[in-house]
Chain A
Amino acid sequence: MSLPFSEVNPDEIPPLKTPGAVPGIASKSDAKPGLFRLSIRFKLTFPVLIFVSLMTYFLFNTTFRLVRQLAIEKNTSRLLATAEVYAETLKVPLLLNAPQDVKDIMEWMGSRSDVLEVRLEDSSGKVFESIHPEAQIPEVVKDPKFNGVFTVSPDTYAAAVPLMAEERNLGRVVVLFSHLGFDLELKNIFFERLVMAFAMMVLLALLSMGVTWLAIRPIFALQQTVRKILAGNLNARARIRSFDEIEDLGEAFNEMVSRLSSSLDRLRSRTEALEESEEKFRQIVEGASDIIFAFSGEGELMLLNRGFAGHPREEFFRQGFSLFAALNSEDSRKVFEAAMDEVCRRKEPMLNVPLTCVNAQTEEEIFYLLSLTPLFDHDGNLKLLQGMMRDVTELRRVEMMKDSLIRDVTHELKTPAAKFQMTVDWLEKELDRQGLKDSFKDLLKILHSNIDRLMNTVSSVMDLSKLESGSVQIDRVIFDLREVLQQVFQDLEPLVRQKGLALEASLGSRPLMVSGDKNMLYRLFSNLIGNSLKFTPRGKIMLRAFLNDGKVRAEVEDTGVGIEPEFLESIFERFVQKTAASLGIGVGLTICRDIARLHEARIWAESEGLGKGAIIKLEFLPQHLTN
């Protein structure tokens, strides 16, 4: 199972091979059907060409009309002049009254190819001479009052010129000119030119195709580069030297590719670094000897570094929380679930919760210490519940072995010693009965004191061992300390009195509630009194208990030999003794200190100096603060 890091495979970053992903670059075969495509060359040239064609045609047309008009005017004026000349020429023979000359002249006039008819009219409009009488004269011209040129068609004109002789109107001369084919010729000329123009247009079109293609070529080069990049060559760049916008595009494109490429490289190297880091941490986590796991806020198993208790890792991921719970023995399961609950609720870690699980395969018990740490996001919601389980089965086994060892050793030491004592006691009694006690007084004394010493030493060492091995479990009860003190007082008072001292107790009238182990506290105070007993030759020992500022305080004061200031702290150390000859091996106060520690109570000594007695004081935490 991966750690909650995203897995990014740089090789899987899509290389944009999907067709159509880069619009416009799609080749013809990739083009979607129905998509109309028109090359930019056509888009550029066609409108121009069409416009130019239209303009050309328009120009030609208007020019043609203009030229025709001009030609007609030119013709009419020329023809008018010709007709006037004719009229003048004919006037002479007419005035001379030589009809034959008139006719000859008219014949001659009519012999011109472009003269269709020459006609003479008298002043009333009657035609008296005509060379081609069948010629069609337009009605307008027939009107005797008409003078000038009438354009029948661009090819045909009718001119009528009055014959004037000194103010006398002799009539009219009507000439019909025709230059057949003139118009057609004109049209042909223009048409020819137009055709030529269009031919030029076509050439121009072809030329522009060529030119545009050349201009477009850099775009192909760009296309080429893009294809290379798509194929995977990220170093491909477009080399475009077209001195135009395409070159700019090429440069911009290159820049873009470079930047993207370096971003990609950075991303890749970061991903690699991330993967390396992830791998490293994965190895560390999976290699850890403890079981490391994490649940999401919704209770889904996100991480587990190994399987355990006879179940493989996969099974845990399949079954999740329920398998974790089911692994436990019955009581342990409640503890486990309660711990999970509490951590989520209180939003605080819980450490070293003891669990008992059963190995699914071997059915052996496994002991774990569970530590849970909640992790929260910015809004304070539970993001991850991280846990560690340490297999302490071996440790526990060792501890239990230690415990039983200590127990056994204790037993093995104490029992013989006790029996020793009992034997000596009986012997003493028997000798006393027989009246021989005095003879053996010294021997008996030696026996007694040494047995006491042995017993004490054994007890102290055993108790200290137990305490220091950490294998002592406190039975935590909340009770009135005065109970224990009362008991201590009762039990030790005879002993103290025996030594010639007085034991006093002042326990107050109010209950002094503490949380702890009655037996251990009994031991503590009897040790303290025993200690005082050792160092107080005469006077009294006082046992006090009271409330001080909400905290329970207990004190043992004596009128004994006192403690020098430099020893006030060290007396609680192991094996530190006032004098070598003192009874015991000097662990009594150490035991007291250890018991006090277990109860989270403070213990210290006060003394005004040598010969001024000493007080050992004990202060418990205020009740509501202890667990």
Chain B
Amino acid sequence: MGSKVLIVDDDDELHILYGLYLRGESFTILEAFNGEEAFTLMEKDKPDLIVLDMIMPVMDGETFLRMIQGKGELKKIPVIIASVNDKIPAELLKFGNVRTVLRKPFTIQLLSETIQKQLAS
């Protein structure tokens, strides 16, 4: 579909795996390894959807999410949280852009489906 998906995760292997699969599904993949990088990227190239890992160095997912709320255009981008953590603070789930939470590990198909579903809505 040509949609741009920003993967924010500190695990490079996951980037490779996500990228391989999702590019095969015709997504354009942007890669960031932490929240800060994600910000920088987004300023230049606005994605259509963000897949966000929570635990990252430099700036973690929670901080990133909070920061996004202040950025007019950016806060509208749908976010899929992908995390190992059981406990996501309820507050974060209330943000308008957070659509759903996928618990790692998930199958790559599930990720793909979820992305498609969220982009469709």
Which A residues are within 8 Å of any B CB, using their own CB? 410-411, 414-415, 417-419, 421-423, 425-426, 429-430, 433, 455, 519
User: Chain A residues with Cβ under 8 A from B86's Cβ?
Assistant: 519
User: Chain A residues with Cβ under 8 A from B105's Cβ?
Assistant: 414-415, 417-419, 421, 455
- Which residue in chain A gives the minimum CB-CB distance to B13? A419
Asked if B24 and A422 make an inter-chain contact with CB atoms under 8 angstroms apart, the answer reads: no
A-B contact pairs, 6 of them (CB 8 A): A415-B11, A415-B104, A422-B18, A422-B21, A426-B17, A426-B108
- Which residue in chain A gives the minimum CB-CB distance to B20? A426
Asked if A423 and B104 make an inter-chain contact with CB atoms under 8 angstroms apart, the answer reads: no
Asked if A418 and B24 make an inter-chain contact with CB atoms under 8 angstroms apart, the answer reads: no
Task: Name the contact of B17 in the complex, choosing from A411, A422, A519 (C-beta under 8 A).
Answer: A422
Asked if A429 and B104 make an inter-chain contact with CB atoms under 8 angstroms apart, the answer reads: no
CB-CB nearest 9 A-B residue pairs: A418-B105, A422-B17, A422-B108, A414-B105, A426-B20, A426-B21, A425-B108, A411-B84, A419-B13
Q: How far is the CA of A433 from the CA of B24 in the complex (A)?
A: 10
Restricting to B61-114, which residues have a CB under 8 Å from any CB of A?
A: 84, 86, 104-109
Q: Is B119 an interface residue (CB 8 A)?
A: no
Asked if A422 and B104 make an inter-chain contact with CB atoms under 8 angstroms apart, the answer reads: no
Q: How far is the CA of A414 from the CA of B104 in the complex (A)?
A: 8
Q: How far is the CA of A519 from the CA of B86 in the complex (A)?
A: 9
- Which residue in chain A gives the minimum CB-CB distance to B55? A411
Q: Distance (Å) between the CB of A518 and the closest chain B CB?
A: 12
Q: How far is the CA of A414 from the CA of B13 in the complex (A)?
A: 14
Known pairs A418-B106, A429-B21. 10 more at Cβ < 8 A? A415-B105, A418-B107, A419-B17, A419-B105, A421-B105, A425-B21, A425-B107, A425-B108, A426-B24, A455-B105
Q: Distance (Å) between the CB of A405 and the closest chain B CB?
A: 15
User: Chain B residues with Cβ under 8 A from A411's Cβ?
Assistant: 84
Asked if B107 and A429 make an inter-chain contact with CB atoms under 8 angstroms apart, the answer reads: no
Restricting to B1-42, which residues have a CB under 8 Å from any CB of A?
A: 11, 13-14, 17-18, 20-21, 24
Q: Across the A-B interface, how many residue pairs have beta carbons closer than 8 Å?
A: 43
Q: How far is the CA of A154 from the CA of B6 in the complex (A)?
A: 168
Asked if B104 and A421 make an inter-chain contact with CB atoms under 8 angstroms apart, the answer reads: no
Q: How far is the CA of A415 from the CA of B105 in the complex (A)?
A: 6
User: Chain A residues with Cβ under 8 A from B109's Cβ?
Assistant: 425
User: Chain A residues with Cβ under 8 A from B24's Cβ?
Assistant: 426, 429-430, 433
Q: How far is the CA of A473 from the CA of B24 in the complex (A)?
A: 41
User: Chain B residues with Cβ under 8 A from A414's Cβ?
Assistant: 84, 104-105
- Which residue in chain B gives the minimum CB-CB distance to A418? B105
User: Chain B residues with Cβ under 8 A from A519's Cβ?
Assistant: 86
Interface size on B, residues (CB 8 A): 16
Which B residues are within 8 Å of any A CB, using their own CB? 11, 13-14, 17-18, 20-21, 24, 84, 86, 104-109
Q: Distance (Å) between the CB of A527 and the closest chain B CB?
A: 15
User: Chain A residues with Cβ under 8 A from B21's Cβ?
Assistant: 422, 425-426, 429
Q: How far is the CA of A414 from the CA of B106 in the complex (A)?
A: 10
- Which residue in chain B gives the minimum CB-CB distance to A410? B84
Q: How far is the CA of A455 from the CA of B86 in the complex (A)?
A: 17
Task: Name the contact of B14 in the complex, choosing from A419, A421, A425, A430 (C-beta under 8 A).
Answer: A419
User: Chain A residues with Cβ under 8 A from B106's Cβ?
Assistant: 418
User: Chain B residues with Cβ under 8 A from A426's Cβ?
Assistant: 17, 20-21, 24, 108
Q: A430-B24, A433-B24 are in contact. Are A422 and B107 (CB under 8 A)?
A: yes
Q: Distance (Å) between the CB of A129 and the closest chain B CB?
A: 172
Q: How far is the CA of A417 from the CA of B104 in the complex (A)?
A: 11
Q: Distance (Å) between the CB of B90 and the closest chain A CB?
A: 10
- Which residue in chain A gives the minimum CB-CB distance to B24? A429
Asked if A423 and B17 make an inter-chain contact with CB atoms under 8 angstroms apart, the answer reads: yes
User: Chain B residues with Cβ under 8 A from A415's Cβ?
Assistant: 11, 84, 104-105
Task: Name the contact of B108 in the complex, choosing from A410, A417, A421, A430 (C-beta under 8 A).
Answer: A421
Q: Distance (Å) between the CB of A349 and the closest chain B CB?
A: 32
Q: How far is the CA of A422 from the CA of B111 in the complex (A)?
A: 10
User: Chain A residues with Cβ under 8 A from B14's Cβ?
Assistant: 419, 422
User: Chain B residues with Cβ under 8 A from A418's Cβ?
Assistant: 104-107
Q: A411-B84, A519-B86 are in contact. Are A421 and B20 (CB under 8 A)?
A: no
Q: Distance (Å) between the CB of B7 and the closest chain A CB?
A: 13
- Which residue in chain A gives the minimum CB-CB distance to B14? A419
Q: How far is the CA of A430 from the CA of B25 in the complex (A)?
A: 11
Q: How far is the CA of A425 from the CA of B13 in the complex (A)?
A: 15
Q: Distance (Å) between the CB of A283 and the closest chain B CB?
A: 47
Q: How far is the CA of A433 from the CA of B26 in the complex (A)?
A: 14
- Which residue in chain A gives the minimum CB-CB distance to B11? A415
Q: How far is the CA of A421 from the CA of B11 in the complex (A)?
A: 16
Q: How far is the CA of A512 from the CA of B93 in the complex (A)?
A: 24
Q: How far is the CA of A498 from the CA of B32 in the complex (A)?
A: 35
Q: Distance (Å) between the CB of A413 and the closest chain B CB?
A: 10
Q: How far is the CA of A319 from the CA of B13 in the complex (A)?
A: 60
Q: How far is the CA of A415 from the CA of B14 in the complex (A)?
A: 10
User: Chain A residues with Cβ under 8 A from B104's Cβ?
Assistant: 414-415, 418
User: Chain A residues with Cβ under 8 A from B18's Cβ?
Assistant: 422
User: Chain B residues with Cβ under 8 A from A421's Cβ?
Assistant: 105, 107-108
Q: How far is the CA of A411 from the CA of B18 in the complex (A)?
A: 18
User: Chain A residues with Cβ under 8 A from B84's Cβ?
Assistant: 410-411, 414-415
Q: How far is the CA of A419 from the CA of B107 in the complex (A)?
A: 9
Q: How far is the CA of A191 from the CA of B109 in the complex (A)?
A: 156
- Which residue in chain B gives the minimum CB-CB distance to A491? B110
Q: Distance (Å) between the CB of A329 and the closest chain B CB?
A: 21
- Which residue in chain B gives the minimum CB-CB distance to A494? B113
Q: Distance (Å) between the CB of A472 and the closest chain B CB?
A: 9
User: Chain B residues with Cβ under 8 A from A429's Cβ?
Assistant: 21, 24
Q: Distance (Å) between the CB of A219 and the closest chain B CB?
A: 95
Among B14, B17, B21, B105, residue most surrounded by chain A Cβ atoms (within 10 Å): B105
User: Chain B residues with Cβ under 8 A from A417's Cβ?
Assistant: 105
Q: How far is the CA of A2 from the CA of B84 in the complex (A)?
A: 55
Q: Distance (Å) between the CB of A55 and the closest chain B CB?
A: 120
Q: How far is the CA of A455 from the CA of B18 in the complex (A)?
A: 19
Q: How far is the CA of A519 from the CA of B90 in the complex (A)?
A: 13
Q: Distance (Å) between the CB of A234 and the closest chain B CB?
A: 77
Q: How far is the CA of A423 from the CA of B13 in the complex (A)?
A: 10
- Which residue in chain A gives the minimum CB-CB distance to B104? A418
Q: How far is the CA of A426 from the CA of B13 in the complex (A)?
A: 13
Q: How far is the CA of A419 from the CA of B11 in the complex (A)?
A: 11
Q: Distance (Å) between the CB of A415 and the closest chain B CB?
A: 6
